[in-house]
Amino acid sequence: MMEEVKVVLYGVGAVGELIARFLLEKQGVKIVGAVDVAEDKVGKDLGVVLGLNKKLGIIVSKDAASALSNVGADVVIHTTTSYLRETYPQIVSIVKRRANVISTCEELSYPYYSEPKLAEKLDALAKKHGVTILGTGINPGFLMDTLVITLTAVCQKIEKIEVMRVLNAATRRLSFQKKIGVGLTVEEFKEKIACKQITGHVGLEQSIAMIADALSWKLDVIKAEAVQPVIANKTVENNLVKVEAGKVSGLRQTVRGLIEGREIIRLDFQAYIDAKEEYDAITIQGVPTVKQKIQPCIHGDMGTVAIVVNSIPKVLKAPAGLLTMKDLPVPSAALGDLRNHVSTLKQSDSK
């Protein structure tokens, strides 16, 4: 059996920490390095940063050069920010050290839509160094794009695709609640959205672009509607936050893909405190029509951790370059020893 898959963590924030904990439980994989810029993490043992009762012998570095030096990393799991322009130099620094990259950067899930020039550069650089770059997560990366694409396989004709994700933000971490404006007044919400102090959900446009590409649909435009606040009609309080009646309990975002003025893809994302029903729903109008509904909705953090780790074997076996989820084999769980899912590494990984 091959050696353990060696992983470096780039980002040990909320999601990075969850991924680290899962990897520590996983057979056939070993964390060999960690990177973060937070002053309270740099220079500390990863076990201390994670709040474990033991040290792991891995010191958190402030840059990729230090973390990747002499560890022979197979893959770097990158969890820093949503925007490719901010993550681009980080990913370049990883690729130049010949490590594969799996990133939760939302724009990287389908970068050809928002940053085509950067995407071309990353693709060329990855091929030059013989590694693979993948952007993925629960959404974008699976629920509102990859799963949709998979379900279209049974259709002879498709007229329209509608996807809706509704989640109760009360079950999510505080940083997510702040990201969607929970507790703000309507005026504060609109101001913070306008100046991008809160972003809402990033990646819906990328999901539409990926679906359209997979189906060879040439969209005329991808139109994002203005982000709308969801207003609490009663005071709601939990262990993280209190939302008074009349204040913002979350948000709703709608993005549409159009051809000749006709809406052909619609993605509707809703996240707010005290949502009465949580679900992920996909409707494909066509021959035959497909209706799929998951209740309750898949938990975002748990799902993201799983799909990132489960993608490791497929990335290790993939051709070099910048890939998206539609370019990989059908996603699946990598249960048990991770090495069992990596039968043969791509030739370019023989270092």
Same domain? For 100 and 170 the reply is: no
Are 37 and 78 in contact, with CB atoms under 8 Å apart?
no
Print pLDDT tens along the chain (351 aa).
678 999 999 999 999 999 999 999 999 999 999 999 999 999 999 999 999 989 999 999 999 888 998 899 999 999 999 999 999 999 999 999 999 999 999 999 999 999 999 999 999 999 999 999 999 999 999 999 999 999 999 999 999 999 999 999 888 888 888 889 999 999 999 999 998 888 888 999 999 999 999 999 999 999 999 999 999 989 887 777 789 999 999 999 999 999 999 999 999 999 999 898 999 999 999 999 999 999 999 999 999 999 999 999 999 999 999 999 999 999 999 999 999 998 644 444 444
d(CA 246, CA 259) in angstroms, rounded, equals 38
Are 288 and 155 in contact, with CB atoms under 8 Å apart?
yes
List, in sequence order, the alpha helices (H) in the chain: 14-25, 46-49, 64-68, 84-95, 111-114, 116-129, 146-151, 174-179, 186-194, 204-214, 300-310, 312-317
Same domain? For 184 and 291 the reply is: yes
Beta bridge partners of 323: 134
Same domain? For 163 and 64 the reply is: no
Same domain? For 315 and 293 the reply is: no
Same domain? For 14 and 69 the reply is: yes
Place of tokens 């769980």: 333
| Six-digit token string for 300 | 């975002």
Which SS3 state, helix, strand or coil, does residue 196 take?
A: coil
Q: Is the pTM of this model over 0.75?
A: yes
Same domain? For 118 and 151 the reply is: no
Same domain? For 309 and 201 the reply is: no
CA angle 148, 332, 2 (to 5 degrees): 150
Same domain? For 287 and 158 the reply is: yes
Are 22 and 309 in contact, with CB atoms under 8 Å apart?
yes
State how far Cα 341 lies from the chain centre.
Answer: 22
d(CA 151, CA 282) in angstroms, rounded, equals 9
| Six-digit token string for 160 | 């329209």
pLDDT for position 1 = 61
Helix H or strand E encompassing 124: helix 116-129
| Six-digit token string for 321 | 């370059």
d(CA 120, CA 192) in angstroms, rounded, equals 33
b/e code 29-41 from CB counts within 10 Å (16+ = b): bbbbbbbbeeeeb
The residue segments making up the domain with residue 74 are 5-137+302-349
d(CA 285, CA 267) in angstroms, rounded, equals 14
pLDDT for position 79 = 97
Same domain? For 164 and 288 the reply is: yes
Same domain? For 152 and 292 the reply is: yes
Q: Per DSSP, which regions of 36-177 are E strands?
A: 60-61, 75-78, 100-103, 132-135, 157-168
Q: How many domains does the chain have?
A: 2
Place of tokens 């009646």: 245
Are 10 and 35 in contact, with CB atoms under 8 Å apart?
yes
**Nearby residues of 72 by Cβ (< 8 Å), 6 or more positions away:** 6, 32, 351
| Alpha-carbon torsion, ordered 266, 267, 268, 272, to 10 deg | -170
Query: What one-letter code names the amino acid at 60?
Result: V
Same domain? For 12 and 130 the reply is: yes
Smallest CA-to-CA distance from 250 within 324, 148, 180 is with 180
> What CATH number does the domain containing 126 carry?
3.40.50.720
DSSP assignments along 70-103, one per residue: TT--SEEEE-S-S-HHHHHHHHHHHHTTT-EEEE
Same domain? For 105 and 183 the reply is: no
Are 119 and 91 in contact, with CB atoms under 8 Å apart?
no
| Six-digit token string for 239 | 């262990």
